Structure 1
Amino acid sequence: MGDVIGELDELASNHEKVCVGDVLDDFGARSFGPFIMIPALLELTPVGGIPGLPTALALFISLIAVQLLLGRDHVWMPQFVQQRAVGSKKLHKAVGKLRGLASFLDRHSKGRLEGLTQGTAIKLVAGAILLLCCTVPPLEFLPFASSIPMLAIAVLGLALTVRDGALVLGALVFTGIATSIGIAMYVNSSGSGAENGVLPFL
């Protein structure tokens, strides 16, 4: 995690603005974890309550997860997304706030079950992320319910970023729990809607 933060800081030092495309080019194969984790974390903030945003973020994450599942060596994004940029001063400030967290994660997550961070295990992680993304649109009709699968996605993205197999394993267990909770909420809300003679979730 520390090397990711360090490279972001270096990009900010060398450019007035840093585009998404610059980050993709610099990170290469390591861009999958951050670009899965960051949108999921965004959904966990108050903006996640904006109608349609959780589904849009889930679609974005799905695009990344499909590429991971297919074994691409780096993330592809549409040109209009790659052109999105942030000022170097804002990026420096954000990086500074993340350094403490990055140091903590590096101290506690290196060298654990490394086999779960490569090969077939990565495809399993990608499949789990896609499954979680599929649960987001129906859960969006319930206030902040979509945050449950998004939290699991964020943890999986973090596990890929720090290359921590133990965290991957824990995140997969949490994925099963989150999926079960999501299905239960969907079934219960649909049943209530049917009993009341109205559409599900309403």
Structure 2
Amino acid sequence: MVQQGENTGRHAAGADTAGRQGSPPAEGLCDLLTMIDELGDRQRNVSVHDIREEIGERSFGPFLLVPAVIEMSPIGGIPGLPTALAVIISLFAVQILFGAQNLWLPQFVEKRTIDGKRLKSAMDTMMPVARFIDRFLKPRLKWLTKPPWVQVAAGLSILICCTVPPLELIPFASTAPMGAIALFGLSLMARDGLLTVIAGLVSLSAIYLVYTVLLGG
């Protein structure tokens, strides 16, 4: 269960920090999921802050990708979690939109935790899909992964996040818009501009679908 509180499973701070400093940057979805999987294996409860520390500040991509992937995993079925993750993504995306260099979250968000075993199990479930996706990733059209296109991706991510709360009325329906955000995050991380284009098309399709289904009747 996602809960608010201090991380009760945190191990020795010195060893933990040393491990993160020595970690190579994630180069694909498998690398990122492995980092989170190992975090869930080490700790009984994993906080948002722990995940932020684990992935580091190497690029903006993981900050969009990780919450979206968590929502798309079996954990996404927890009531209220998709909306909470959409709020986290929105907070990151707003800062990216306005050109922030270091992303920030309020303390009450940073302290939100999830059971480590449940997180690890979710990442293990997503790993085969991650391996398949990583086969197609490569740096191309890199100019589409730089400003002002990064800001365009952030703006679309904010719009998509607005569709998540009403979609919670339909089980797992928020997976589609979160998939678009995950593509944006992955494209920025892999410097794959073609994936940025695909993410943009998926985003616009998701926004239109939500409008027609929930608002257009």
TM-score, normalised to structure 2, is 0.66
Map 1:46-85 to 2 at 5 A: 46-79=74-107, 81-82=109-110
Secondary structure of the residue aligned to 2:162 is helix
Where do 5+ consecutive residues of structure 1 fail to align? 190-202
Aligned to 1:115: 143
- 1:166-181 correspondence runs (5 A): 166-181=194-209
8 Å contact 1:61–1:133 — kept in the other structure?
Answer: yes
**1:165 matched to which residue of 2?**
193
Give aligned pairs, total.
187
Shift of 1:152: 0.9
> Per-residue deviation at 1:109?
2.8
| Cα distance change, pair 70–136 in 1 and its aligned pair in 2 (3 A) | same
Residue aligned with 2:163, SS = helix
| Cα displacement string for residues 63-92 of structure 1 (whole angstroms, at most 9, x for unaligned residues) | 010111011112212345556789xxx999
* Residue 130 of structure 1: how far off its partner (Å): 0.3
Q: Which has the larger radius of gyration?
A: 1
Q: Is this contact kept in 1: 2:73–2:122, CA < 8 A?
A: no
Q: Label 1:161 to 1:101 Cα distance change in 2 as closer, same or farther (>3 A).
A: farther
Q: CA deviation at 1:62?
A: 0.2
Match of 1:133 in 2: 161
CA deviation map 1:144-178 (0-9, x unaligned): 22222111111111112212111001110111111
Q: What SS class does the counterpart of residue 56 from structure 1 fall into?
A: helix
Q: Deviations over 1:73-128 (max 9, x none)?
A: 12212345556789xxx999999999998787666433311001111000000001
Question: Equivalents in 2 of 1:52, 1:92: separation in Å?
Answer: 20
Q: Which moved more, 1:63-72 or 1:107-116?
A: 107-116
Correspondence for 1:2: 27
Name the CA shift for 1:25/1:58 in 2 (closer, same or farther; >3 Å): closer
Out of 39, 52, 67, the position equivalent to 2:67 is: 39
Match of 1:28 among 57, 67, 70: 57
Greater fraction of residues in helix: 1
Matched, 1:186 2:214: yes
Asked if 1 retains the 8 angstrom alpha-carbon contact of 2:75 and 2:119, the reply is no
- Do 2:142 and 2:191's aligned partners in 1 also have CA atoms closer than 8 Å? yes
| Cα-Cα RMSD | 3.8
* Unpaired segments ≥5 residues, structure 2: 1-25
SS in structure 1 opposite 2:140? coil
Tell me the distance in 2 between the aligned counterparts of 1:186 and 1:57.
Answer: 21
| Residues 87-126 of structure 1 aligned to structure 2 (within 5 Å) | 108-126=136-154
1:54–1:115 Cα change, 3 Å: same
- Is the 8 Å Cα contact of residues 28 and 189 (structure 2) preserved in structure 1? no
- TM-score, normalisation: structure 1: 0.70
For 1:2, what is the secondary structure of its paired residue? Answer: coil
